[in-house]
Structure 1
Amino acid sequence: MIDHPVADFSRPATGGKEYRLSDSLGHPVVLYFYPKDNTPGCTTEASDFRDLHAEFSALGCQVIGVSRDSVKSHENFKTKLNLPFDLLSDADESLCNQFAVIKLKTMYGKACRGVERSTFVIDAKGVLRREWRGVKTAGHAREVLDYVRSL
């Protein structure tokens, strides 16, 4: 549901930190959910957000990636790709459930639960302003940046 306040949350983050949404009030936040570290689509998406990070920062916007991977996995992924933003570990799926990004998928002919690639823009007041679900990575980070510029 767009244009409603996002409930505060806290998740373990890279860099030995605990990320809390309420600490970001006063700045827009791009929260992007992805299925798994070190997979082709997720690597492309993270790299695209990395390459545009200076432009997001110039707008005062934080970019945060989220998956169910461990913080250790995230640390390796972040180092490998030289990501300038934090990744949150949501191993218990509480944040995935808050944003309803867990979907039934088919992998190798079998049904399994997985993260649907999704992005959410939360404004400086903590209000959800835009969401993208079932994201295709090509051009997505640029589209998100263009939207953040319009806030």
Structure 2
Amino acid sequence: MSHSPEIGKKAPNFNLPATGDKKLSLKDFKGKHLVIYFYPKDATPGCTTEGQNFRDTFNKFKNANCSILGVSRDSIKSHEKFKEKQAFPFDLLSDEDEEMCKAYDVIKLKKLYGREYMGIERSTFLIDANGKLKKEWRKIKVKGHVDEVLAEVKALNA
């Protein structure tokens, strides 16, 4: 049984390959707030829109001392194409073994056209500059989501 990470406690660590030939872990973001958003699949409509929304507000997050990471089970090769095509100014992590997905408890039973399968439930986590989990959003509707996340980041700095 997987457990959800607890708000107010240390966020689960990760160490995964990322775009730009990097390997990233939680400690790389010490002293900065971090938004991690999990999404089902590269280059699908909802995931593309969500990524574009983060891209378009990226400077506002940056000005609020906040980094952004996108995570899915897609390969780095797929991520590089998606990132380049959408001109994302942030990195995408490849979690092919679902290690990070499980640590953040985002693998859920999903239904599509009557078929049931395990997949990533669109979820976002906000981690503060000390590595503590401050807020989580699950079962996200893309519209308006990024603005909500940005408001929370700004509240951390208030």
Quote the RMSD (CA, aligned, Å).
0.6
Match among 47, 52, 55 for residue 47 of structure 1: 52
AA aligned opposite 1:124: A
1:83 maps to 2:88:
yes
Matches within 5 A, 1:57-136: 57-136=62-141
1:11-55 residue CA offsets vs partner (Å, 9 max, x unmatched): 000000001111111000000000000000000000000000000
**2:37 and 2:71 in contact (8 A); partners too:** yes
Q: Which amino acid aligns with 1:17?
A: K
How far apart, CA to CA, are the structure 1 residues paired with 2:110 and 2:12?
Answer: 27
| TM-score normalized by the length of structure 2 | 0.94
Unmatched segments (≥5 aa) in structure 1 = none
C-alpha separation between the residues in 2 aligned to 1:101 and 1:20?
Answer: 18
SS of 1:54 mapped into structure 2 = helix
TM-score by length of structure 1 reads: 0.99
Tell me how far 1:60 sits from its aligned partner: 1.1
5+ unaligned residues in a row in structure 2: which ranges? 1-5
Distance 1:107 1:92 in 2: 22
In the alignment of these two chains, the number of paired residues is: 151
Q: Structure 1 residue runs of 4+, over 2 Å off?
A: none
